[in-house]
């Protein structure tokens, strides 16, 4: 399902064969980001997922609120299905993998959508209203879930209609939102460091209030910045495509 990163506006047939010098150089360029991206996703899942596979609420990395017994099962479902989306998405955005193994790309795309994004997005909509990280975080995660589902559904529909250029654009946006869970940890750490000196002043000594502020800011920054970067990447690819067309017209 998702897509090409080198140039999201270029159909598969336009790519140079991997056996040619230009093709080999393109594969080497892709490996520079595809391998670190995949290793980062594997490391994140290896850290985040195991405690929830025990189905023991006491081992949850997030506080489990009382009075809503469905919260923990929905949280586990979100994390398990989200892990599927994160791991399969890394292969889906790798152009070489898509071109070399088109059948695997299609099946992993179905796993990304039906076994990843869709159930994870539905589950998180049931979790966010009861999150203990504050209202700002709740709203940010709800917007993230809605956009995650919307971009993925749009990408799936484009694939079904064989509108592959548009499919790839939508799925780049979808995977940018999928990856927000990873960078969220980076933003959260940064904001805690920045706000910690203000605990006694701005937050009146309430460390929990500071943590809620950091969590809310990190939720919004994680998906908004990712989506902006994805849009910049897409527009850069479109600009390059237009420039190539102009050069061919002049030639």
Instruction: Measure the CA–CA gap between 7 and 238, rounded to whole angstroms.
Output: 8
Strands of 146-242, DSSP E? none
Does the structure show a pLDDT above 60 at 28? Answer: yes
**Closest among 189, 188, 169, 156 to 85, alpha carbons compared:** 156
Region at 67 (left for phi over 0; alpha for psi -120 to 50; beta for the rest) = left
- The backbone torsions φ and ψ at residue 114, rounded to the nearest 5 degrees and listed phi first, read -80, -30
Q: Give the span between the Cα atoms of 80 and 15, in whole angstroms.
A: 35
Reduced to 3 states, what is the DSSP secondary structure of residue 128?
A: helix
Burial (CB count <10 Å: 0-12, 13-18, 19+), residue 14: exposed
Q: Let me know: does 5 contact 179? Beta carbons within 8 Å.
A: no
- Our CA dihedral for 84, 166, 158, 230, rounded to 10 degrees, sits at 30
Amino acid 61: pLDDT: 83
What pTM, to 2 d.p., does this model score? 0.84
Looking at the chain, which runs of residues are DSSP E strands?
none
Q: Closest Cα to residue 5, out of 38, 41, 29?
A: 29
- Give tens-digit pLDDT for 95-137: 888 888 999 999 999 999 999 999 999 999 999 998 888 899 9
Res. 3 pLDDT band, cuts 50 70 90: very low
Region 236-246 average pLDDT: 75
CB neighbours of residue 153 within 10 Å = 16
The answer to whether residues 17 and 23 touch, using CB atoms and an 8 Å cutoff, is yes
Closest CA to 166 of 181, 175, 156, 177: 156
Mean pLDDT of 125-150: 93
Residue whose pair of structure tokens reads 């006694």 in the numeric block: 200
């Amino acid at each position: 399902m998702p897509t090409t990163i080198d140039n999201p506006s270029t159909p598969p047939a336009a790519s140079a064969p991997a056996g040619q010098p230009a093709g080999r150089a393109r594969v080497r360029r892709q490996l520079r980001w595809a391998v670190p991206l995949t290793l980062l996703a594997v490391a994140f899942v290896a850290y985040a997922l195991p405690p929830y596979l025990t189905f023991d609420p006491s081992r949850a990395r997030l506080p489990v609120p009382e009075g809503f017994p469905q919260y923990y099962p929905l949280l586990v479902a979100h994390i398990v299905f989200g892990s599927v989306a994160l791991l399969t998405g890394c292969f889906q955005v790798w152009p070489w993998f898509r071109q070399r193994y088109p059948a695997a790309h299609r099946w992993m795309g179905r796993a990304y959508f039906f076994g990843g994004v869709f159930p994870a997005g539905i589950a998180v909509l049931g979790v966010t209203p009861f999150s203990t990280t504050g209202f700002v975080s709740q709203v940010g995660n709800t917007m993230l879930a809605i956009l995650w589902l919307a971009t993925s559904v749009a990408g799936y529909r484009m694939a079904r209609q064989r509108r592959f250029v548009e499919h790839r654009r939508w799925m780049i946006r979808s995977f940018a939102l999928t990856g927000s869970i990873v960078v969220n940890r980076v933003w959260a750490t940064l904001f805690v460091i920045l706000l910690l000196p203000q605990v006694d002043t701005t937050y009146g000594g309430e460390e929990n209030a500071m943590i809620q502020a950091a969590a809310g800011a990190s939720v919004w920054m994680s998906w908004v910045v990712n989506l902006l970067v994805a849009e910049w990447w897409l527009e850069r690819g479109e600009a390059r495509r237009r420039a190539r067309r102009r050069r061919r017209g002049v030639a």
